[in-house]
């Protein structure tokens, strides 16, 4: 077995403690569908590694904190496993643990979004010509 083959067999999804690139880990943990998308999110400032922006080539280690913004949600996770290969979703969930405060904040924001939608429901029909005229007059008045 060559040196490179030995490295490949000891690094990755079999539970080693060797550091893995941030973009590879995010892809393997199934936060993003492709590594290219993971790299874009890291470069775009949507991912914070230990409270700081970082490069996609940053090596992650066990116990590090990652804050990820995806749409309306923001998650803070602690790395408890390393992998550089993508496997099934049940395995991916064993790679991280979401903090309690992160879960609470996500639930509160989801509830607020649901209540906001319920308080201002959309109309079933489009406004007719008269209603459109009234809306336009009301908007121009203010």
DSSP string, 8-32: HHHSSTTT--S-EEHHHHHHHTTSS
pLDDT at 65: 95
The candidate with the shortest Cα–Cα distance to 84, out of 27, 141, 43, 134, is 27
Distance CA 90, CA 117 (A): 32
pLDDT at 114: 84
Distance CA 7, CA 142 (A): 68
Distance CA 85, CA 18 (A): 13
pLDDT at 79: 95
State the DSSP H helix or E strand holding residue 140, giving kind and residue range, or none if neither.
helix 129-141
Distance CA 60, CA 11 (A): 13
List, in order of start, the domains of the chain with CATH numbers.
15-107 (3.10.290.10)
Distance CA 16, CA 111 (A): 39
Tens digits of pLDDT across the chain (142 residues): 444 444 443 344 455 568 899 999 999 999 999 999 999 999 999 999 999 999 999 999 999 999 999 988 999 999 999 999 999 999 999 999 999 999 999 999 999 888 877 677 777 888 899 999 999 999 998 6
pLDDT at 16: 57
The candidate with the shortest Cα–Cα distance to 65, out of 80, 77, 47, 55, is 77
């Amino acid at each position: 077995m060559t040196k490179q083959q030995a490295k490949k067999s000891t690094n990755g999804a079999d539970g080693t403690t060797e550091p893995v690139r941030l973009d590879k880990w995010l892809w393997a943990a199934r936060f993003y569908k492709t590594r290219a998308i993971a790299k874009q999110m890291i470069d775009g400032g949507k991912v914070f590694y230990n409270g700081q922006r970082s490069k996609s080539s940053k090596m992650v280690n066990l116990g590090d904190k990652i804050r990820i913004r995806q749409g309306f949600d923001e998650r803070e996770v602690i790395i408890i496993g390393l992998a550089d290969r993508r496997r099934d979703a049940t395995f991916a969930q064993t790679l991280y643990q979401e903090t309690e405060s992160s879960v609470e904040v996500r639930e509160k924001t989801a509830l607020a979004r649901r209540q906001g939608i319920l308080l201002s429901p959309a109309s079933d029909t489009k406004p007719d010509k008269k209603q459109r005229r009234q809306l336009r007059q009301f908007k121009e008045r203010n």
